[in-house]
Every structure is written in C-alpha cells, then in structure tokens.
Amino acid sequence: MNSTFKGKYDLIVIGGGVSGTHAAYAAGRMGIKVLLIEQFGFLGGSLTAMGVGPMMTFHNRAGRQLIFGSPQEMIERLINIGASPGHIIDGTGYCSTVTPFDAEGLKLVLDDMLVEAGVDVLFHSRLIDVKLSNGSINSIIIHNKGGVQEYEGKIFIDASGDSELVKNCKVPFSIGRKEDGKSQPLTMNVKIGNVNSSQFREYIKNNWDQFDDKIRREEKSDILEKISRISMWGLYDLWEKAKKNGEVTIPRDNVLFFETNTEGEYIFNTSRILGVDIFDGISLSKAEMLGRKQAREIYKFLLKYVPGFENASLLSTAPHIGIRESRHPIAKYVISSHDLTSEYHFENPIAVGGYPIDIHSPDGESTHSVHLKEDGMYYIPVDSILTNEIDNLILSGRSIGADHYASAAIRVTPIAMSIGQGAGILAAISVKRQSLPSEIDYKYLREELQTQEVYLGE
C-alpha cells in the first residue's frame, strides 16, 4: 500500500479514550515527543463516544481512595469548570462512590490536558496497518481524508480498546470467556433529560422494594438524603409489566440508571444486545440499529410508567454502541480473576484498583458480580502491559493482559486511566533511557509513578 511519510515521534499512542489520553499526557509532560491517533473528532472514547457514565470508581468498597495521579487531577479540572460534582456516594450501593460528569466538559478538559502537555493530536485518523522488523514496530499506517499516511515511532501504546495494534502486529489474543468464547453484551446508552428528579426521588422513597437493597450497607432512607445525583437499579414490577405488555423486548432483568452532572439528566445503561460479533461489520451495524430501538423502548417505558418522567425528552443515543469487551491480548502476564480476588500483591504494580468483577451476562438477563473484601484492592503488574512478541509495544486501558473475568473488573474508567498514566510513564522512561520497556528497572518506574502521585499500595 502506498503511503505518504508524515513524521517521526518518540511515542505514538493509538486511541484517544481516557486511557490513551492519560498515557499521552503523562509522557508529554515528561518532555518526549508524542503523537496521539484517534478515529473520532474528540477524546474520551467510551465516556464520550459510547455515552458511558459515571466514572466508577476511584475508591474501594470501604471508601478508601485508590486512584489518584492524573485521573484525580482531571476530576479537579472538571469540578473547576462545573462539569462534575466530584466523587459522590453510589446510590446503588454497588461501589462506595461514583463520579458523574458532563461529557462535553470532559472533551474540553482532555483537549486542554493534551495541548498543555505538548502532545500532537490527529483526529479522524484510523490505524490500518503497521511496519515491523525483528520484533519491533518501525511505523504505523493510518488513513484519514488526506489519504494513507505513515508515522515512525520509538515506542507505541495500544490504547484502542480493541487491541488494534496488537492485532496488526499479530500478537496472539483471546476472545470472550474460555468455555465458549462469548463476550459481555453490548449496550446502547441513552441520555434522558428534563426529568423531575424531586418527584422521582419521592417515588423511590415510597417504593424501596422496587430498588435493589441486597448489597446496600446504609439505611435506604438515608441514601437519598446523602446523594446529590441519583444512581439506582430496579423498577422491577413496572419493567416486568411493560415486558408482559410487549412494550419492552430488552433481555435484562432490571433498569440501571445514573443522573449525570446536570440534575434531571440521566444515563440509562439498560439496553442489552446479545450475540454480536463486533468484528463483523454487518453484525455490529445491526446492533447499532437494535440499540436505538431499545433506547426508544426505554424512553417510552419511562414516559408511561415512571413518576417524574412525564415531560422527559430523549436527548441522545450514544454515537457508538457500547462495547464492554473486545480482544484480550496474551501479554507477558495475563491477569486472572483469582489474582484480583486473592489480592495477589505483584511486586511491580503499574496501577491498583478496587472495582468488583462485574459481568453483564453474555447469555441472558442477569449480571454477575464478585466483590473484593471490604477494604480490598488489587494490583496490576507491568508484565500485563507488555508482550512477548513486540518489544516496543505497551498495552493500555481496557484491553491489557487480563482474561474475560479479570478484564470485567479492570475495564472501568478510573482504572483504565491509571493504567494509561503508568503506560505513558513507562514509555517516557524507555525513550529517555534509550532502553526497551521490558528492560527498565522497576525502581525507576515506581519512583516516577510516585512522583506523579500514583498510589501503588503500601
């Protein structure tokens, strides 16, 4: 394929989701020359393109904050421009906190961070190929309206969420769970606005049996007083009734929703599309259409059945259907669910996390969770972001070396961002020391992670 050579960088990051953005930010601030490639025209990935929210969670179950560094700095920037209330109690009781935000504010904050760090950003550009020699990436090939272009780099980070660089480099990967290769379902997130939240709160207060209480540790009535934004799941009977009436066809046993930064505006993370092959264009396109149909069903259900939604409006469906799970690269180390639940203390963590294993069933209506113990946390080792095959490739975000079960925990945004910061720091140290990422003595990495306020446990 003929391509136009466009330039050379120390680090090239594929994917401008939160993980890629934090990787580029960390590396750019350390003074190396960074290029970030993103297929859409904005940063934020799933949080902006797939309509996901809130960020969940910076804390463990006991309420101890585990994620700091540039993700926490980003939250402070969001608070400063009025685009987030910060970390608030999770009304579902699933986690101790959630962090609502305004997606438009997030786009701006992430732009600012990369501009300040001197990162060159290439929007509307898609990775399509790589040039390899002797187990290293020499250059990447991208396509945009200007045609096919080539960029050379020293280190490359795959933060594409779908392991696009991994696939192009022919690094092995697995798909779905071991038993049958099935992945978590897709969800079309839908934003509903103009909700009368006081009326809705009143309804919740008077119908607590309709909202989940199995894992809530505080008195239900207290929760509503304490949360500035509502997050809940339930509406069981109304949902069942609508299903029986044929008004709802979504294969899910409850309604899950989160108020955003804007009071009266909610994200419904409720649609469910099973059995999609995300690597097949036709299958994915059908899922987008079905997702929009399901979003309409959810909206009409709310209008008809739920107090407070009488004048609600359907603000938007996500620009891209939500994909929770994609390729799982076979990294130098593949994290298992046992590593997380046993809180195995790897000696070389790049990040830590406390979010439970959260699997939306690949087969049907339910959601399966495994929580850590109250003050638990797990460690993400450096080897899970390096591969055996390509020596200048670093993995980041939701698609690192983690199996179906482990990735169902580490995929959430605070952890994805923290992994991104670690990946960016490792890349910058490698460039500065003129060494491969796998050759970097962990003591240098730990020192810089701590300088950049990453918490790594005691």
Ligand X SMILES: Cc1cc2nc3c(=O)[nH]c(=O)nc-3n(C[C@H](O)[C@H](O)[C@H](O)COP(=O)(O)OP(=O)(O)OC[C@H]3O[C@@H](n4cnc5c(N)ncnc54)[C@H](O)[C@@H]3O)c2cc1C
Question: How far apart are the C-alpha atoms of 36 and 397, rounded to whole Å?
Answer: 15
| Minimum distance of ligand X from residue 165's CB (angstroms) | 8
Distance CA 180, CA 184 (A): 12
Q: Which is closer to ligand X, CB of 6 or CB of 205?
A: 6
Do 20 and 14 touch, CB atoms closer than 8 A?
yes
Residue 354 lies near ligand X (rule: CB under 6 A): no
If the CB atoms of residues 368 and 433 are measured against ligand X, the closer one turns out to be: 368
Residues 164-203 that bind ligand X (CB under 6 A): 164, 187, 189
| Binding pattern for the stretch 264-283 against ligand X, x by CB under 6 A and - elsewhere | -----x--------------
Nearer to ligand X, 276 or 416 (CB): 416
Among 28, 105, 153, 161, binds ligand X (CB under 6 A): 161
Q: Per rule CB under 6 A, is residue 126 in the interface with ligand X?
A: yes
The full DSSP string for 254-291 is: SEEEEE-SSTT-EEE----B-S--TTSHHHHHHHHHHH
- Residues 380-409 touching ligand X, rule: CB under 6 A, are 397-398
Backbone angles phi, psi at 444, to 5 degrees: -70, -40
Closer by beta carbon to ligand X, 67 or else 433: 67
Give me the least distance between CB of 74 and ligand X, in Å please.
Answer: 13
Q: Which two tokens mark 389?
A: 């095959």
Alpha-carbon gap, residue 114 to 118, rounded angstroms: 6
Beta strands in 53-209 (DSSP E): 88-89, 97-98, 120-122, 126-133, 136-144, 147-158, 173-175, 190-193
When the beta carbons of 312 and 416 are compared against ligand X, the nearer one is 416
DSSP state of 372: P
Site for ligand X in 19-78 (CB under 6 A): 19-20, 37-40, 45-47, 49-50, 52, 54-56
Does 17 bind ligand X (CB under 6 A)? Our answer is: yes
* Distance of closest approach, residue 441 Cβ to ligand X, in angstroms: 27
393-395 vs 147-158, strand pairing mode: parallel
Rounded CA-CA distance 97/80 in Å is 19
Task: Out of 90, 150, 158, 162, point to the residue binding ligand X (CB under 6 A).
Answer: 162
Nearer to ligand X, 56 or 113 (CB): 56
CA distances from 396 to 231, 289, 304, 352, 393 (A): 28, 30, 43, 14, 10
Q: Shortest gap between Cβ of 8 and ligand X (angstroms)?
A: 19
Per CB under 6 A, 291 contacts ligand X: no
Which residue of 60, 72, 96, 160 would you call a contact of ligand X, by CB under 6 A?
Answer: 160
The residue count for binding ligand X (CB under 6 A) is: 39
The pair of structure tokens assigned to 121 is: 């950003």
Cα 41 from Cα 49, distance rounded (Å): 10
Nearest Cα to 423, choosing from 437, 443, 403?
A: 437
- The span from the CA of 153 to the CA of 163, in Å, is 18
With binding defined as CB under 6 A, does residue 294 bind ligand X? no
Contact residues toward ligand X (CB under 6 A) are: 14-20, 37-40, 45-47, 49-50, 52, 54-56, 126-127, 159-162, 164, 187, 189, 269, 322-324, 397-398, 411-413, 416
